Structure 1
């Protein structure tokens, strides 16, 4: 009973606290589901701000502005001939305009995609497709052609001093929001990093390893590892790529230690050596900061990793000599390890086609060997790569 009363008072307290934090005199503090704070401008240039505006999909936003009932404003719907502009506090903005769609004049709201000192790009979201328009200063709106060439020509004029303009000209452009924005950034910032290429190259690495077994009476410290292999980089878009590698990995750790009593009178020092030669296959998904200009491009990566044993064993020694005492004999390490990798680094673009990569990667894999002991192998590698 007491517990029920306590929970009830706790619930009332939470509700009261939440209510006390809401200032009903401040419209911005009143939450209306599916809405966001914004503004609108009437046809006589009166600005009404600090109100909640319903969030809708792009098609509905192009047709009407819906304002829900709130303390400082009645519920109301505005159409393009009733206001000249509206927007949200996150920067999304719509203007009222007349355009010709399918041989018919139509009054709609156009979304402002971006605006620079020379022109503005707008979008009208129809139920079938998006239509884009350019406005230079106060000149009439011009539709972006089906092939986008009038838009590209406008961008070329802004990029006359770009030494990479010929390469950017060769890139395909779709008359779609994402593609138009990307092309604008490429021309105006002279940034060819936004068009990554398929690449293949070589990689070498050096670092540390730490093998670990569960349910054993000894452990390993860290030791050195080396790797060498090849990689591919397959672009997925302007920043993400699939980056698989096939590496030969050599791991040798002689730092496994423990004391074991061979008989009642003598305590000998056991040491363990872990040696593994394997093929390691990291399947990385890489995010490169290609919006940055210059020759140095940072990246981060994450993905699954596989490790297939080629040779190597775990060997116990007594006073530095292998004796195979009391069942402590050489044992094969785990044939198949699986896990994940994560890392990051920087790409140095020597030329548009050739790069050097310096990165650091952590690899965590696990598996079960023949004697049913779970084997974990952690490697921490500094990698240097170059593409052809």
Structure 2
């Protein structure tokens, strides 16, 4: 149960003018908009109300997306040819949704899609916010799948690598700015701290003056560089859960307000710890920035590896070659790989001999001889 002043579905604060009341399973709940009320109703009607117990660390959910009147546009074969892999009546697509925030989102999306007749595969990648779907186009249309996702609060669009890369760059750039400002604040506050610790500002008047200067810098740094931690802590408090950001923010705020008390009360002989607060934020932001870089490198490496694999192959049936999508190949199929081409799938050499470049696997530039009976790897 969410606090009385927050939306029962998304956890956002409810402006008085936007309050919506709706009966859910016989109990009147408060929502921030009709969209959240409708999504909650759909979730309960589908018997998936345990979704609300799965949201970890106080994550806020995204309000439902506005209805898209042009979703049927995605059903045209001409449009799907740009981002859908065709496997006879079976089709596969990767969608992207920025509204995926936590493991509970993954659970809700996969269970929602699993209830649709015609869905053969539904996998959600929380790290890159992607949804991989395989469906029988004779039973369900792509527009119906997207509408089902919209009905439970997730806006989904065909995955666009350029848009995804831009989103990662924007998030990293924002984190880098916060890190840089924390470093700038740390260096400036350290100058004042040196004067205080060395005794150069032993006089009470000068000491209090330096305390106020540190307070001003620390306040700005806490509000800007510390915003991700404070925001995460506030989310945890509102949803009555305990997350890492809550403990971090508790330590930062305790240090901040104690130092403020010493600053306001000149008669107090204690030390201020604004410098410690900023140092702490700076180190935490370094960790988060390195984590973001590592995650992006892993995603880029995975994407480059997938790009190495050909999308089509020459299938050999009764000595007749035909170009088919790699995804349609089955175990036991025979394919033809001409000199200079990449091998589309893992397999064994049935006939012939050649040199294969396996540098993408081993790092060795020297080509490897392959003959009848030897195994070969896709992408080499």
**TM-score band, normalised by shorter chain:** under 0.3
Q: Normalising to structure 1: TM-score of the pair? A: 0.22
Q: Normalising to structure 2: TM-score of the pair? A: 0.22
Determine which structure has the larger helix proportion and give its number.
Answer: 2
Query: Which has the higher Rg, Structure 1 or Structure 2?
Result: 1
Determine which structure has the larger strand proportion and give its number.
Answer: 1
Asked which structure has the greater RCO (Cα within 8 Å, sep 6+), the reply is 2
